[in-house]
Amino acid sequence: MTTISFGTSGWRAIMNQDFTFANAKICAQAIADYLQQQKVAAQGIVIGYDSRFMGEDFAAECAKVMAANQITAFLCQRETPTPVIAWEIIDKKRGGGINITASHNPPSYNGIKFSP
C-alpha cells in the first residue's frame, strides 16, 4: 500500500507506480472532508492541471469525488498555472483549489497541490 504524505504544497509520486487514479481519489476525498470540516464546502473548489500526461483525466476524477460529496467543482478547461488557481480561489472566494501538477519534478511524476 502506498503511503500518501502531503509536504509543504502537496503530494508528488511516480505516475502509474504510486500516483494512480485510486490514490488521487483518496487525496480528493481527504480534501473534500477537509472542506466540509472547515465549513467552506459550499464555496466550491477550483480544480486545474498542467500539461503532464493525463493531467486533465486526474483533474476530472477529482471533480467527480467532489460531486459525490455535494461540493461544486470549477474544473479548468485547459492547462492552468498554479498561480492562476490561487488567484481564482481568492477572487471568487472558493473553499480551496486543487492543481494536478508535479511542479519541478521529472516528467515521470505527477502530483496534487491543495490550496485552502
Active site positions, annotated: 103
- How would you classify residue 96: left for phi > 0, otherwise alpha for psi between -120 and 50, otherwise beta? left
- How would you classify residue 15: left for phi > 0, otherwise alpha for psi between -120 and 50, otherwise beta? beta
